[in-house]
Structure 1
Amino acid sequence: MTSYQERYSASLMNTFGPPKLALVRGAGAHVWDEDGKEYVDFLGGIAVNALGHAHPALVEAVTAQLQTLGHISNFFTSPQQVELAEALLTLLDAGPGKVFFANSGTEANEAAFKLTRRTGRTQVVVAEGGFHGRTMGALALTSKEAYRAPFEPLPGDVVFVPYGDADALRSAVSDQTAAILLEPIQGEAGVNVAPEGYLAAARSIADEHGALLWLDEVQSGMGRTGQWFAHQTMAVRPDVVTLAKGLGGGFPIGACIALGDAADLLQPGNHGTTFGGNPVACAAALTVVRTIQDDEILEHVTVLGQKLRDGLAADPRVTEVRGEGLLIGLDLADEKSADVVAAAQRAGFILNNPTPKRIRLAPPLVVTQDDVNALLAAWPGILDEAGL
Structure 2
Amino acid sequence: TPPKLPDVGLKEALSMRAMLTPVRKHGTRGLVDLLRVVPMMMPELMDEWFESELLRGAVSAAGIHHITLGPFAAATGYNLLHQHIYSDCVFHNALFVKGGTGNLAETLLKSAEYAGVDIRTRSTVQSIDVANGVCSGVTLEGGETITAAKVVSGLDPTHTFIRLVGPAELNPSFFTQVQNIKYRGSAVRIHFALNSLPGIKGVSQDQMGTVFSISPSIEYLERAADAAKYGRISEDPYVEFTIPSVINPDFAPEGKHVLSATVQYAPYHLRNQTWSEELKVQLKNNVVRVLENYIHGFSDQIKSFAVFSPLDLEDKFGLTEGNLNHGEMTLDQFFFMRPTMSSAQYKSPIENLYLCGPGTHPGGGLHGTNGFNAAHEILKQ
Aligning the two structures, in what range does the TM-score lie when normalised by the shorter sequence?
Answer: under 0.3
Length-normalised TM-score, structure 2: 0.26
Q: Could you say which structure has the higher strand fraction?
A: 1
